[in-house]
Amino acid sequence: MSTLKYLTSYAPNLQQQIARLLEQDRVRDYLLQKYPAVNDVPNDAALRDYVMRLKNQYLKKSQPLSKVIFDKKIHVVNNALGLHSFVSRVQGGKLKSKNEIRISTLFKNTPLEFLNMIVVHELAHLKEKEHNKAFYKLCQHMLPDYHQIEFDVRVYLTHLEEKGEVYTSQSLFSNSAESKSRGIYELSIYTRSTRQSHCSI
């Protein structure tokens, strides 16, 4: 059985459900049924516009962002999907600070919900630096389904590592009747009580 490293902080019975679906090759069907399309945020300019819209809606008074980019150096092996950095530099005898948000290029080819969850996570760090109750409360304020989508992102990463990409051209345009004929497993698999502890992203 896979170690399911992206799901280690979830309850054992929940991990077992995912392991069974992987063995049955049904995780792809679950994800495509729930999130059938990829986002339309193809480059850094579009990402910045997207992030700034969310920031202005929920965190208008927070510190400004100097840079928002996709970053191919961010790799899921390090359990990092996005990064918020706070950089202080001395310029002309004055201390100047800059906030940057970098999102893994992996999320160029995922559902908008996945990208949204990562962006919300990094935006929340503008106000809350630690992964504490206040941080997750802010995430849920910006994205009420934050915890469920985070779980689904981790399911996606597990499939990506174990079985390969979900959102290929072939899978996106395939006949949905095939999935229906296989009987999609109704995954009501996340509740707050199933999460043992929060994981950093």
- Single out the residue of 56, 66, 60 nearest to residue 87, CA to CA: 66
Q: Where are the beta strands (DSSP E) in 57-200?
A: 65-71, 82-91, 94-104
Query: How far is residue 179 from each of residues 29, 37, 98, measured CA to CA in Å?
Result: 6, 15, 47
Whether 199 maps to a domain, the answer reads no
Q: What is the pTM of this model?
A: 0.82
Whether 45 maps to a domain, the answer reads yes
Residue 77: per-residue pLDDT: 46
**Would you call 91 helix, strand, or coil by DSSP?**
strand
Q: pLDDT under 70 in the chain at which residues? A: 1-2, 75-97, 173-201
- Cβ proximity of 41 and 74 under 8 Å: no
Q: Considering its fold, how many domains does the chain have in total?
A: 1
| Average pLDDT score over the chain | 82
Supply the CATH number for residue 138's domain: 3.30.2010.10
Give residue 42's domain range: 5-194
Q: What is the pLDDT of residues 59-97, one digit of tens each?
A: 999 989 999 999 988 865 454 565 655 544 444 555 556
Residue 174: per-residue pLDDT: 62
Whether 201 maps to a domain, the answer reads no
Residue 199: per-residue pLDDT: 42
